[in-house]
């Protein structure tokens, strides 16, 4: 099985860049499954029905999220609709809508997709992603061998530790959240694909997707501002492509896919 996993899509420019690049990647690489992190697709914070439909039309099959999953009420309502191929962090506190993992059918193969949120340096209070992963793996049917984990962490050490902790028990541990792609894509010793952060799909001339001016001003005077998202210009699309043995769930390859396009 060949899987393309796309880093955090940020705003309209990210959605439009994906619509240009993804069809080309699908024609070239012929993936069986395309997954994207969509917690920032609606002007950088949260998601809406129309923005989800836009990226689904571009060719995305399944959606993961992160710490901004509930930031828009319209998007929050979608998590109660089980027909959406959409999950939120499994270790989020309280009795909240949605699920933190799902098992989907990809051809004749069952694939589990799990969403986790880190604890270090995060503004949200959630339970241990390590313990949450253990609980989910115990609940999964033994027949499910292909298991993908999207981990949103602020600290690279937390993500790396989780990668080694999960190695041999899942097919891939893929980091999102920082919007800065890392160069450590590799197969861990127990046949688990790993990367600390895939990166983002959004404006190149930005601070993790936002207009630089407002971010710089806040660093200078510490005053709160609404940060704006560029809507035109050069955009990047960051992703990884993973190859997994269906029967055993073992990853055999992982590589970065990176593209740039002017919107």
- 56-76: burial string, b at 16+ Cβ within 10 Å, e else: bebbbbbbbbbbbbbbbeebb
Report the C-alpha gap between 153 and 66 in whole angstroms: 9
* CA angle 90–6–125, rounded 5-degree value: 30
Within 10 Å of residue 223's Cβ, how many Cβ atoms?
7
Report the C-alpha gap between 259 and 263 in whole angstroms: 13
Report the C-alpha gap between 93 and 127 in whole angstroms: 7
Half-sphere exposure of 198 (CA within 13 A, CB side): 34
Which residue among 68, 177, 179, 227 is the active-site one?
68
Of 63, 62, 56, 70, whose CA–CA distance to 22 is shortest? 56
Contacts of 154 (CB under 8 A, 6+ apart): 118, 120, 121, 122, 177, 178
Residue 29 designated active-site: no
Q: Would you please indicate which residues are annotated as catalytic (active-site) residues? A: 68
């Amino acid at each position: 099985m060949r899987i393309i996993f796309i880093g955090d899509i940020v705003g309209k420019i990210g959605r439009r860049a994906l619509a240009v690049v993804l069809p080309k990647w699908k024609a070239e690489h012929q993936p069986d499954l395309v997954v994207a992190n969509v917690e920032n697709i609606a002007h950088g914070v949260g998601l809406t029905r129309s923005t989800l439909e836009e990226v689904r039309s571009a060719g995305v099959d399944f959606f993961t999220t992160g710490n901004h999953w509930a930031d828009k009420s319209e998007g929050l309502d979608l998590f109660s609709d089980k027909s959406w191929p959409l999950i939120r962090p499994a270790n989020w506190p309280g009795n909240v809508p949605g699920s933190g993992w799902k098992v989907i059918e990809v051809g004749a193969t069952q694939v589990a997709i799990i969403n986790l949120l880190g604890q270090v340096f995060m503004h949200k209070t959630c339970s241990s992603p390590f313990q949450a992963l253990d609980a989910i793996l115990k609940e999964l049917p033994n027949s499910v061998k292909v298991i993908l984990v999207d981990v949103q962490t602020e600290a690279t050490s937390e993500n790396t530790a989780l990668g080694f902790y999960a190695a041999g028990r899942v097919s891939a541990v893929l980091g999102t959240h920082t919007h800065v792609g890392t160069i450590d894509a590799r197969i861990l010793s127990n046949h688990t694909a790993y990367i600390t952060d895939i990166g983002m799909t959004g404006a190149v001339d930005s601070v993790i997707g936002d207009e630089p001016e407002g971010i710089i001003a806040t660093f200078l005077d510490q005053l709160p501002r609404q940060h704006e998202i560029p809507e035109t210009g050069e955009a990047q699309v960051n992703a990884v492509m993973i190859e997994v043995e269906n029967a055993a769930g073992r990853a055999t390859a992982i590589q970065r896919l990176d593209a740039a396009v002017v919107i």
